[in-house]
């Protein structure tokens, strides 16, 4: 199994890179198209349908069959809108804010392994790169909030920066547990470490007695990092109108939304890679039924990777429509007094486990 | 210390004795004035709250009213008495039946009209239905204020059934003009009572569900418990009423303490929080009062339907005066609307069919005046929780 994966590792992206400049343009275009399609259908339409089913409604039903074209109609509407920059706003910051947000969210996709055969750039510090480039969003949020010259936006921006910066600590500590278990920071390397004939039992989540704690800590912190409920305080629509993007309209608003959905997917992908075996099949080999071998491969990899990640995006939506919002001090309490101690606990136990036991 | 020393405004000098002065670098932040509203998602209409904030902490909160002022009192002076009722509808537009009932009861007291028992029961049924609908909006929008969107739609789903019933009864969904001086506009349609009972049976488990959905949610409790404390003495002195007053632990309900219509014949409890789940006087208590009141109203409706006399030749207009022309005099009538004491003060000069003066005592207006008291020292996010727990309807605040 492992040698098979190694043979095909990055084969598609390497083949594309060999095509020269055209191939090099296609590689980043793939995640871009993916984000657009995913945000359009899974992100916006899917979220509206999911929320509708949770709330005894139908959701969008008018545009197209089952409202399938609703998001397209929304995008058309947003494109038609006048691109307004408020008079009192700092024009440069106001315009650059959404751009930084999107660049931050999108750059992280460079190290995202879609399958064993495709990855934008197989960096040896892929995980490190991903979590650090995502935090570039803080700059965009601050620029947007400050540049809007609106007090509500400023509140949103300041809250957001405080929140994202704080939650990076438990998130990174929790991911370090996975990195220690893998012994590498490369995304593909981490996934390869989780390969094995036992299917899901070989994943890091089940490879140490404390990995579940790191997994939960990371999941909760990732919600806060992408400003999703119950931690959507920066954009708390009932308190801060819309938080840092109160003054935005038209396509700038759409870009901010796209960035949010992109980072939602990104953190789900990171959790998948770090704890749930990335593009590996969950099915184990049972005797002569080599389910694991049959369901692994580049194409299957795309399927597993996307379905695992999209499942976590779904969980994020599920929470969004279920839970009320925390207050800003409660949020900080949760981060500094609950999640960080638990993250350190998980970190310490994982370290000892890796030294004395390793894989079982 | 020499006087020419440059001292920054953020530095504070404290003299311990004549030789020692302590230089303290102040960590105090600058105050910021934030206008919350009139276009803000959680001011429940066109309320503007002027917030003086120190970071996230509220130093001062001042509500500014009047954006929805429609001159109810002046209008009332220029129309005859039955014509006032549609205007009263539009005060607290979420509980129109209760407004109508308040005005009708006041006028009947002024004119000394005796109305049949059946009409009294009909009025209580519709106004309690309307009270449930109003509390459902209050609970649902409160959830939205705290960021939970789904309970809101659950509440609205059930409120829809009530609105359908009332629409069937009088043709309007929100502004009914149903309760008239001396009667009601229509008799119950055939099978209406059965449908109401059906609704009560359907809604009883749902009421529990709404109660549990929010009160058993840890985040919801954390957001509301011990927030916006209103001690009972402050509430009484300010003239607060309704769930605000009962949330502070005062057993005061006009349906019991100053009974009107036939409430004295009905069994129900005054909803006050027991202080187990909540701190008496906080936002959660006020929310609990509404949740419990929904269940009490269901009890009242069931009893009314049992006791209501059936009369095939019933004429809902039998006791409606042809011409409402009260003798000279004045009256203050008060009823327990969903948001508190709704009073009408009517002065008649005895000469015409229009009141000389008609003042409406609005519960929301008084309750809202306590916002500054409760919001002081709380976080910005708590202001939203407090406004939501007061449950204002700007139509009634501004009139």
Q: Do A54 and B150 touch (CB under 8 A)?
A: yes
As separate numbers, helices (DSSP H) first and strands (DSSP E) second, chain A gives 16, 2
Q: Do A324 and B219 touch (CB under 8 A)?
A: yes
Q: Do B56 and A328 touch (CB under 8 A)?
A: yes
For residue A289, what are its two tokens? Answer: 């039924």
Share of chain B above pLDDT 70, in %: 94
Average pLDDT score over chain B: 84
Asked if residues A70 and A45 have their Cβ atoms less than 8 Å apart, the reply is yes
Tell me whether the omega of the peptide bond preceding residue B38 falls within 30 degrees of 0, making it cis: yes
For residue A215, what are its two tokens? Answer: 């997994």
Q: Do B379 and A328 touch (CB under 8 A)?
A: yes
Tens digit of each residue's pLDDT (9 = 90 or more) over A273-297: 888 887 877 777 777 777 777 777 7
Q: Is A228 touching B (CB cutoff 8 A)?
A: no
Asked if residues B158 and B168 have their Cβ atoms less than 8 Å apart, the reply is no
Q: pLDDT at position B1, please?
A: 45
Residue B187 is given by DSSP the state P
User: Is the dihedral angle over the CA atoms B49, B50, B53, B59 positive or is it negative?
Assistant: negative
How confident is the model over A124-142, as a mean pLDDT? 86
Query: Strand, coil or helix: what is B358?
Result: strand
User: Which of A223, A239, A323, A337 is most worth mutating to test chain B (most B CB atoms within 10 A of its CB)?
Assistant: A239
How confident is the model over B114-133, as a mean pLDDT? 88
How confident is the model over B326-341, as a mean pLDDT? 87
B8, pLDDT greater than 70: no
**Which range scores top for mean pLDDT: A109-113, B25-29, B214-218?**
A109-113
Share of chain B above pLDDT 90, in %: 2
- C-alpha distance from B180 to closest chain A C-alpha (Å): 37
Q: Is B216 touching A (CB cutoff 8 A)?
A: no
B25, pLDDT greater than 80: no
Q: What is the ipTM of this complex?
A: 0.75
Residue B379 is given by DSSP the state B
Q: pLDDT at position B4, please?
A: 56
Closest residue by Cα to residue B65 from B391, B373, B385, B366 = B366
Average pLDDT score over chain A: 82
The CB density around residue B138, as the number of other CB atoms within 10 Å, is 29
Q: Do B41 and A324 touch (CB under 8 A)?
A: no
Tell me whether the omega of the peptide bond preceding residue A230 falls within 30 degrees of 0, making it cis: yes
Closest residue by Cα to residue B339 from B146, B139, B37, B95 = B95
Q: Return d(Cα B237, Cα A316) in angstroms, integer.
A: 47
B36, pLDDT greater than 60: yes
Q: Return d(Cα A337, Cα B56) in angstroms, integer.
A: 20
For residue A299, what are its two tokens? Answer: 């194409």
B34 contacts in A (CB within 8 Å)? 151-152, 155
Closest residue by Cα to residue A147 from A138, A157, A137 = A157
Q: Is B41 touching A (CB cutoff 8 A)?
A: yes
Closest residue by Cα to residue B244 from B371, B394, B367 = B367
A316, pLDDT greater than 60: yes
- C-alpha distance from B56 to closest chain A C-alpha (Å): 8
Q: pLDDT at position A1, please?
A: 45
B43, pLDDT greater than 70: yes
Query: Which residue of chain A has the CA closest to B143?
Result: A324
Give residue A7's pLDDT band: very low, low, confident or very high (50, 70, 90).
Answer: low
Tens digit of each residue's pLDDT (9 = 90 or more) over B266-311: 888 888 888 777 888 888 888 888 888 888 889 889 888 888 888 7
Q: pLDDT at position A236, please?
A: 64
User: Which of B147, B157, B161, B387 is most worth mutating to test chain A (most A CB atoms within 10 A of its CB)?
Assistant: B147
Tens digit of each residue's pLDDT (9 = 90 or more) over A230-258: 777 766 666 777 777 888 878 888 888 88
Q: Which secondary-structure segment (H or E) carries B292?
A: helix B283-307
What domains appear along chain B, each with residue ranges and CATH number? Answer: 62-398 (1.10.645.10)
The CB density around residue B113, as the number of other CB atoms within 10 Å, is 17
Nearest-Å Rg of the Cα atoms of chain B is 24
The CB density around residue B292, as the number of other CB atoms within 10 Å, is 21
Q: Is B115 touching A (CB cutoff 8 A)?
A: no
Asked if residues A60 and A70 have their Cβ atoms less than 8 Å apart, the reply is yes
How confident is the model over A30-36, as a mean pLDDT? 77
How confident is the model over B131-151, as a mean pLDDT? 86
Give residue A328's pLDDT band: very low, low, confident or very high (50, 70, 90).
Answer: confident
Give residue A3's pLDDT band: very low, low, confident or very high (50, 70, 90).
Answer: very low
Give residue A6's pLDDT band: very low, low, confident or very high (50, 70, 90).
Answer: low
Stronger pLDDT, A140 or A13, i.e. the higher one = A140
DSSP-assigned letters across all residues of A282-313: -PPPBTTB-HHHHT-SHHHHHHHHHHHHHHHH
Asked if residues A53 and A322 have their Cβ atoms less than 8 Å apart, the reply is no
Q: Return d(Cα B383, Cα B362) in angstroms, integer.
A: 22
B153 contacts in A (CB within 8 Å)? 55-57
Share of chain A above pLDDT 70, in %: 96
For residue A255, what are its two tokens? Answer: 């870009």
How confident is the model over B78-101, as a mean pLDDT? 88
Strands B340-348 and B357-361: antiparallel
Q: Which residue has the tokens 């547990």?
A: A177
A147, pLDDT greater than 50: yes
Q: pLDDT at position A18, please?
A: 77
Q: Is A239 touching B (CB cutoff 8 A)?
A: yes
Q: Do A325 and B34 touch (CB under 8 A)?
A: no
Tens digit of each residue's pLDDT (9 = 90 or more) over B177-226: 888 888 888 888 888 888 888 899 898 888 888 777 777 788 888 888 88
Closest residue by Cα to residue B135 from B115, B162, B113, B116 = B162
Measure Cα distances from B343 to A291, B169, B252, B358 in Å.
Answer: 75, 26, 15, 10
The CB density around residue B39, as the number of other CB atoms within 10 Å, is 11
Asked if residues A103 and A143 have their Cβ atoms less than 8 Å apart, the reply is no
């Amino acid at each position: 199994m492992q040698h098979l994966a190694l043979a095909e590792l990055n084969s598609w992206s390497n083949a594309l890179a060999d095509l020269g400049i055209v191939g090099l343009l296609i590689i980043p275009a793939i995640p871009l198209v993916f984000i657009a399609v995913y945000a359009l259908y899974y992100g916006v339409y899917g979220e509206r349908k999911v929320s509708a089913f949770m709330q005894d409604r139908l959701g969008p039903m008018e545009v197209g069959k089952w409202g399938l074209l609703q998001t397209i109609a929304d995008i058309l509407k947003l494109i038609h809108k006048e691109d307004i920059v408020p008079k009192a706003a700092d024009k440069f910051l106001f315009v650059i804010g959404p751009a930084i947000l999107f660049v931050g969210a999108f750059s992280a996709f460079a190290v995202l392994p879609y399958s064993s055969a495709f990855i934008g750039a197989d960096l040896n510090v892929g995980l490190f790169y991903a979590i650090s480039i995502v935090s570039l969003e803080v700059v965009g949020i601050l620029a947007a909030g400050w540049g809007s010259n609106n007090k509500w936006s400023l509140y949103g921006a300041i809250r957001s920066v405080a929140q994202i910066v704080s939650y990076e600590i438990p998130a990174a500590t929790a991911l370090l547990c996975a990195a220690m278990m893998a012994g590498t920071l490369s995304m593909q390397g981490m996934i390869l470490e989780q390969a094995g004939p036992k299917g899901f039992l070989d994943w890091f989540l089940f490879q140490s007695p404390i990995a579940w704690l790191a997994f939960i800590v990371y999941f909760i912190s990732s919600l806060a990092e992408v400003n999703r409920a119950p931690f959507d305080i920066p954009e708390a629509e009932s308190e801060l109108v819309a938080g840092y993007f109160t003054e935005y309209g038209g396509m700038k608003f759409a870009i901010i939304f796209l960035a949010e959905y992109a980072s939602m997917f990104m953190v789900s992908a990171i959790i998948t890679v770090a704890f749930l075996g990335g593009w590996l099949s969950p099915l184990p080999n049972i005797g002569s039924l080599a389910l694991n071998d049959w369901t692994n491969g580049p194409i299957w990899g795309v399927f597993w990777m996307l379905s695992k990640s999209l499942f976590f995006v779904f969980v994020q939506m599920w929470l969004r429509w279920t839970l009320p919002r925390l207050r800003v001090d409660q949020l900080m309490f949760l981060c500094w007094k609950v999640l960080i101690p638990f993250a350190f606990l998980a970190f310490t136990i994982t370290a000892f486990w890796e030294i004395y036991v390793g894989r079982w | 210390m020499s006087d020419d020393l440059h001292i920054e405004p953020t530095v504070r000098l404290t003299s311990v004795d004549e030789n020692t002065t302590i230089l303290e670098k102040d960590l105090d932040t600058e105050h910021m004035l934030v206008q919350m509203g009139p276009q803000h998602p959680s001011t429940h209409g066109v309320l503007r709250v002027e917030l003086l904030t120190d970071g996230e902490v509220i130093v001062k909160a001042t509500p500014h009213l009047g954006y929805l002022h429609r001159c109810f009192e002046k209008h009332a002076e220029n129309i005859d008495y039955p014509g006032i009722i549609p205007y009263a509808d539009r005060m607290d537009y979420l509980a129109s039946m209760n407004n109508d009932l308040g005005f009708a009861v006041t006028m009947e007291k002024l004119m000394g009209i005796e109305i049949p028992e059946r009409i009294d029961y009909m009025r209580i049924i519709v106004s309690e239905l309307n009270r449930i609908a109003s509390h459902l909006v209050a609970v649902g929008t409160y959830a939205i204020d705290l960021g939970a969107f789904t309970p809101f739609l659950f509440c609205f789903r059930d409120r829809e059934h009530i609105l359908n019933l009332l629409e069937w009864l009088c043709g309007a969904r929100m502004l009914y003009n149903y309760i008239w001086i001396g009667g009601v506009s229509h008799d119950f349609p055939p099978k209406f009572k059965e449908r109401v009972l059906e609704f009560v049976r359907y809604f009883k488990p749902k009421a529990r569900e709404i109660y549990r959905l929010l009160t058993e949610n840890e985040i919801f409790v954390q957001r509301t418990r011990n927030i916006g404390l209103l001690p009972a003495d402050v509430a009484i002195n300010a003239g607060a009423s309704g769930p605000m007053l009962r949330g502070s632990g005062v057993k005061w309900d006009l349906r019991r303490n100053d009974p009107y219509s036939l409430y004295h014949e009905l069994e129900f409890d005054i909803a006050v929080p027991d202080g187990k789940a909540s701190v008496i006087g906080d936002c959660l208590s006020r929310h609990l009062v509404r949740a419990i009141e929904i269940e009490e109203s269901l009890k009242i409706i069931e009893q009314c339907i049992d006791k209501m006399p059936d009369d095939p030749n019933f004429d809902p207009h039998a006791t409606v005066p042809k011409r409402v022309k009260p003798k000279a005099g004045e009256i203050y009538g008060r009823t327990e609307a969903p948001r508190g004491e709704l009073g009408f003060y009517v002065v008649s000069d005895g000469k015409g069919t229009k009141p000389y003066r008609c003042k409406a005592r609005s519960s929301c207006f008084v309750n809202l005046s306590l916002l500054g008291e409760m919001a002081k020292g709380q976080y910005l996010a708590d202001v939203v929780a407090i406004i939501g727990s007061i449950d204002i309807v700007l139509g009634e605040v501004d009139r």
